[in-house]
Amino acid sequence: MSSGLGIPTIQTVAPAVHFAPPPPPLDPQALPHTGMLHLHDAAGQASAHLADAAGHAVHQAADAALQVLGSLSGVLLAGRAALLGTRVLAAAAVRAAEEQRCLERQQRLAATAAEQWEAAAFAAVRVNARRRALLSRVARAAAHGGPPGPPPPPDVPPPLTPVGERLGELRREMARAEEALRRAEDRQAAWEQQRLAALLRLDEERDDDWQRALRESRLRTLGRFSAERTADAEARQLPRQTTPRQTTPRRGPAALGPEEVRRTGAEILGELDPYADTKAGELAAGAVRDAVRRAADDPRRARIHLTEARKFVRDANKQAQRTREAQEKAALHYDFLVYETPRGAEDLPPAPDAVALLRRALEEGTALTPAEQELVRCRVEERLHALEAMYVREQCAGAVAELARRFGGRAGAGRPEGQEIRLDWTPDGWEPGHWLRATLVDGRLRVATMYRGTPGERTPEQRALDDARCAEAQQRFAEFEKISGALGLDLELEVERTEGALPGVLGEDAWVLDELIEEAGPAAGTHRDVPRDAPRHRTVDGDGRR
């Protein structure tokens, strides 16, 4: 038999892939000769879009702007984004903006359509996560109240929905959403800063110099907060604990008279992050008050208190930054886990336990424990693995549809029990006795040459025709690899046998390839030992994840 085995892995996510309705249960009596969906038949067949999707992806040479993002591609990219760091997503937003500027300047882009869509989808996920985190923050602030009155109602646009959008329009919507979100975050940060000042009683001091220094320091902090929330700034940032920041120059020992102590203390307190925890801010304010009280009779002790205040402010700012990132991460995970597939498509694994934890974290502003974070990560990965398995299945079917489009013949798909998908293709000239079959089981793709019939002795003429079909199949295996690569799959078929064919019934559940090959025994050729729980896709960690 001519057969091969490969494990399809995702290299790039092709943008135009949609969810497909699962194939209906097979009815051998109603479909005695086919028992499958015809991939080439566009009239009402549930998988008809595969041929078009394959053609678009294979020939996408290049105008990404002409494509729209498919439903499966979109949520798969969102799932991959959910496992990335916030600064990686910010870097993607920077790439997306630069690609748009290149298009506007009519410059040629070296990036492929898939890479451009990945950057845009990641950037959209980032915007949506920041939006949900901001709305949750405002809701919590409104519930708790504050001396300045209720927080300003955030004027933000609806969440970005990339699916069905063209790339250029998505980028323009993203730019508008980014700007609106930045303004809303600035307003909320100013309100948070006012509340913090009121809670710490920083405005009770009547000294003009104190008030002026405090006001100027607050304005600098707000400006820095706004500047650091841009994608460019976030993408450039190193972790804050190792990044030196230019702050107000510290006064030398000889310069710290009582008035200088007051002004320096005001500058230190003004640098508190708008989202700093009140208790941490109170420690800093207490240290400044102690410094002011000791300034006249013990300048050395006053300097020690100011040093303590700087440390409290630095620690509070670090914690505020970590809290913002944790909230945006929770929002990102929440959005991904509550996503529901389109009507008629296969459902994704539910995750009510993780969703409840994330909802609580967003509503109450609490941090997840390490155990809770691990549970959420596992649920995100489970859902992502299910999506990647769907994507591989769709793209394998798309590759067979493209083979039929290029070389003629009939192609169909079925989903027998125990198989992710079964694909049969009868090239032109192979009817009625032979066809090629591919089955995807536990992430392994098995391809083989089939003949219509039952196991048993074949005549010399039949064996000769079997061998001729197997020789032709070798060429088709190579074409299948190339088409799969164009669809974003890495598939290296290991040819196990080059002669003979397997018995079967076209389009029916009569036999599964793996079972037939195992029954054939050692004479059937080498069988690569792949465990049943082998991964169905490649997972790339870090910034290079695609």
The pLDDT, as a whole number, for residue 87 is: 66
For residue 531, whether the previous peptide bond is cis, meaning omega lies within 30 degrees of 0, is: no
Tell me if 145 sits within 8 A of 198, measured CB to CB.
no
Tens-digit pLDDT string for the chain (546 aa): 578 889 999 988 988 899 987 655 544 333 333 334 556 443 223 334 444 544 544 444 345 566 788 999 999 999 999 888 766 777 777 777 776 666 655 555 555 778 888 888 888 999 999 999 999 999 999 988 777 889 999 999 999 999 999 888 898 899 899 999 999 999 999 999 988 888 887 766 667 778 888 889 999 999 988 888 776 666 666 444 434 444 444 444 444 678 888 889 889 999 999 999 989 889 998 999 898 888 888 888 889 999 999 999 999 999 999 999 999 999 999 999 999 999 889 899 999 999 999 999 999 999 999 999 999 999 999 999 999 999 999 999 999 998 998 888 888 888 877 788 889 999 999 988 899 999 999 889 999 999 988 777 888 999 999 999 998 988 888 899 999 988 889 988 888 776 778 888 887 654 445 444 454 444 343 333 333 344 444 333 333 333
Q: Residue count of the chain, please give it.
A: 546
- Rg of the chain taking only CA atoms, in angstroms: 31
The pLDDT, as a whole number, for residue 506 is: 82
Q: Which helix (H) or strand (E) holds 445?
A: strand 444-452
Strand pairing class (502-504; 444-452): parallel
Neighbour tally for 304: CB within 10 Å: 15
| Residue 324 in tokens | 């913002």
Residue 60: DSSP 8-state: T
d(CA 279, CA 137): 18
Q: Which helix (H) or strand (E) holds 452?
A: strand 444-452
Task: State how far the alpha carbon of 117 is from the alpha carbons of 56, 113, 179, 233, 522, in Å.
Answer: 14, 6, 21, 22, 46
Cβ-count burial of 241 within 10 angstroms (0-12 exposed, 13-18 middle, 19+ buried)?
exposed
The pLDDT, as a whole number, for residue 48 is: 42
d(CA 431, CA 433): 5
The pLDDT, as a whole number, for residue 104 is: 56
**483 Cβ neighbours under 8 A, 6+ residues apart:** 54, 58, 399, 402, 403
Question: HEC profile for 230-280?
Answer: CHHHHHHCCCHHHCCCCCCCCCCHHHCCHHHHHHHHHHHHHCCCCCCCHHH
The pLDDT, as a whole number, for residue 108 is: 54
d(CA 425, CA 446): 14
d(CA 430, CA 57): 28
The pLDDT, as a whole number, for residue 374 is: 96
The pLDDT, as a whole number, for residue 516 is: 46
d(CA 36, CA 59): 27
The pLDDT, as a whole number, for residue 475 is: 87
Tell me if 115 sits within 8 A of 313, measured CB to CB.
no
pTM, whole model, 2 decimals? 0.80
Helix (H, G, I), strand (E, B) or coil at 440: strand
The pLDDT, as a whole number, for residue 535 is: 41
